[in-house]
Amino acid sequence: MKQWLRKSVVVLVSILTFGLVTPAHAFWNENQEVDKVKHESANSSYQQTSTNENVFITDKENVDRQQLINRLMIEAEKQSYEKFGSKITPVIEDEFREVILPKIQEAIEMTIAQYPNEELSSLAITETPSAGVGEKIFHIYNAKTREDIIRFHVRRDHPPMDGYYFNFHYHTRFDEYQAHHDLGKIYWDKNTPPKWMAM
């Protein structure tokens, strides 16, 4: 159907129904829009994991690696500050941003580089850091297989005759999560730090 005729029909239907009914997208774009909507809903920006965690997922099939890394880093920083809570964040925020966050990005870049192009769109990031004394900050995983790709953690260290440190590290699936990859330490104080996510 010619473009001018399609437009005329849309305007006519809208006028006759006082705008309450509009022609279907399939009629307007000859099924192209319907296929696109179905595809986008299958690759929606948020899905659920088996534990009902909301996760961030890329919404394109042909994913640009750098855009993916940028989006993951935005989420990584957000999850980190959520884990630290309002009592720890003001004390370590600057050092975390200057020292640890760039190393987190390096680790993500190295991991993404090993991941097949065709599977990048299935990568997701968890949105529930562990509270209390748990180590988990966030994990990046394959939403299709539910397998973790890389796990970012922070542990509380208290060496003898010394104060408390936050030990940032990660584990990857490429070595079956066995190796402890160091990201750095941030000194807290001689006093016991508050629990994670404490307000």
Span 112-156, pLDDT tens digits: 898 888 889 999 999 999 999 999 999 999 999 999 999 999 999
Question: Of all helices (H) and strands (E), which one includes residue 3?
Answer: helix 3-16
User: What domain range is 127 assigned to?
Assistant: 47-189
* 75 and 37 within one domain: no
C-alpha to C-alpha distance for 153 and 168, rounded to whole angstroms: 6
> Which of 120-152 are b and which e, b meaning 16 or more Cβ less than 10 Å from the residue's Cβ?
bbbbbbbbbbbeeeebbbbbbbebeeeeebbbb
* 102 and 183 within one domain: yes
* 178 and 139 within one domain: yes
For the chain, the domain total comes to 2
Q: Is 163 among the domain residues?
A: yes
- What confidence tens digit (pLDDT) does each residue in 57-84 have? 455 456 788 999 999 999 999 999 999 9
Q: Is 194 among the domain residues?
A: no
Residues shown for the chain: 199
pLDDT at site 62: 65
- What confidence tens digit (pLDDT) does each residue in 152-180 have? 999 999 999 999 999 999 999 988 899 99
Q: Is 198 among the domain residues?
A: no
Whole-Å CA distances, 23 to 9, 27, 38, 125: 8, 7, 18, 38
